[in-house]
Amino acid sequence: MASIRDLKKDVNNVLGDIIEAVYIVEAANGKQDSKEGSKIIDSAIETFDDLIAKINDREVQNRKKHLQAVRAELETKAKDLVEEINKLG
């Protein structure tokens, strides 16, 4: 069960850092509350909700494989969001 707790923490920390990065990039560029930044933040929140729901799904056949897929999805989506942040700068 510790791995599930760690996965939830990873989801929270990674997506929280992405949201924080949006605010930092916007502040550095002097563009507060840009539409692009808001879109990235909304995407991060939606991804968070989706991944947590998948982690909490106990109806899957192979729980270990399912959680590995969730971790891989987190990495993929985080990478995509970081690329969008880089376009802001």
The domain ranges of the chain are: 2-88
pLDDT of residue 32: 80
- Residues 19-71: pLDDT tens digits? 999 999 999 988 887 899 999 999 999 999 999 999 999 899 999 999 999 99
DSSP reduced 3-state for 17: helix
pLDDT of residue 2: 60
Q: Which residue has the higher pLDDT, 4 or 31?
A: 4
The two three-digit tokens of residue 6, written as one number: 């760690």
pLDDT of residue 30: 84
Distance of CA 51 to the CA centre of its chain: 8
d(CA 38, CA 25): 12
Residues 29 and 20 sit within 8 Å (Cβ to Cβ)? no
DSSP 8-state secondary structure symbol assigned to residue 35? H
Residues 51 and 73 sit within 8 Å (Cβ to Cβ)? yes
